[in-house]
Amino acid sequence: MKRITALLMALAMLFALTACGQAEAPAASEAPAGASAAPAEESAAVASGVEDGVLTIAMECAYAPYNWTQSDDANGAVPISNVPGSYANGYDVMIAKRICEANGWELEIVQSDWDSLVPGVQTGTFDAVIAGQSMTAERAEQVDFAGPYFYATIVCLTKADSPYASAAGIADLAGASCTAQIATIWYDQCLPQIEGADVHTAAETAPAMLMALETDMVDFVCTDMPTAQGAVAAYPDMVILDFSGTEGDFQFSDKVRAENVNIGVSLMKGNTVLKELIDSVLSAMTADDFNSLMAEAIAVQPLSE
């Protein structure tokens, strides 16, 4: 009887040990064949930023008609989260709202200076930048781009009574004083092509650039067509010099020219999820859609910021 009891106790212990062994998960190095561990790429994947259902967008809020600040929510303006009592509106806000509506997200707008936009995306301070940024190769080394969400011709602006108002090409601007916004292709790549140009210090913002022209500090400024169209609406004494498609235009390789006119949405490097979701919205829009929306933005922009 004692032998039988001892045998039964030994069998019970054996079953208990076996059960314990089955409950323990094998180490990763001992995973059975066919078992799938999470790939290293997935564990290091960049978060989309919209897991909370809120898309946080940064812009200058001072770059009409792309974006501007106003004191109320007229014409569909959106509150600026870090500037209480102020609202953002403009083409960029209109595009951001379409992206959010298509994906069921809430939209948060953050005001940020131009030079802080790319670093803010890189550090995850905000999910994306929609701020009239050209999709240049240099920027593409720092961020990923969704889009384009606009195609913008490079132009110049001068006063209607200026001797340069009849310029037919950049050669006719030789020796003139000029400026453009800081950290843009207009300042870095366009103005240096004008022979003997007196290039002033870059303007910190688009409004500052336009004010330099309006107050006769410079003879002309270089910018893109939407900014110029918005400027003419606010300052009727300005005229647009559009040399596109002529021999007198600014010269770039086809690749660089495409970079300079394609406006995109900046995202953190590797944020493929958010890029695909935004691209799915933008790819369904045509150039005519973009132009129509831009015309709407220009029509409702304030006369001054």
CB 231 within 8 A of CB 210: yes
pLDDT at 253: 81
Supply the pLDDT for residue 14: 38
Q: What is the largest CA-CA distance in the chain?
A: 120
Say what the pLDDT of residue 302 is.
87
Scan for tokens 């695909």, then name that residue: 276
- Sheet architecture: strand order including 68-70: 68-70, 87-89, 78-79
3-state secondary structure 191-229: HHHCCCCEECCCECCHHHHHHHHHCCCCCEEEEEHHHHH
Task: Set out the domains of the chain in order of their start, with CATH numbers.
Answer: 54-151+263-300 (3.40.190.10), 154-243 (3.40.190.10)
Cα–Cα distance between 195 and 198 in angstroms, integer?
9
* Residue 255: per-residue pLDDT: 76
Q: What is residue 304's predicted lDDT score, i.e. its pLDDT?
A: 52
pLDDT value at residue 165:
98
Q: What is the pLDDT along the chain (305 residues), one digit of tens a residue?
A: 433 344 344 444 433 434 444 333 333 333 333 333 433 333 346 889 999 999 999 999 999 999 999 999 999 999 999 999 999 999 999 999 999 999 999 999 999 999 999 999 999 999 999 999 989 888 999 999 999 999 989 999 999 999 999 999 999 999 999 999 998 989 999 999 999 999 999 999 999 999 999 999 999 999 999 999 999 999 999 999 999 989 999 998 877 766 768 999 999 999 999 999 999 999 999 999 999 999 999 999 987 54
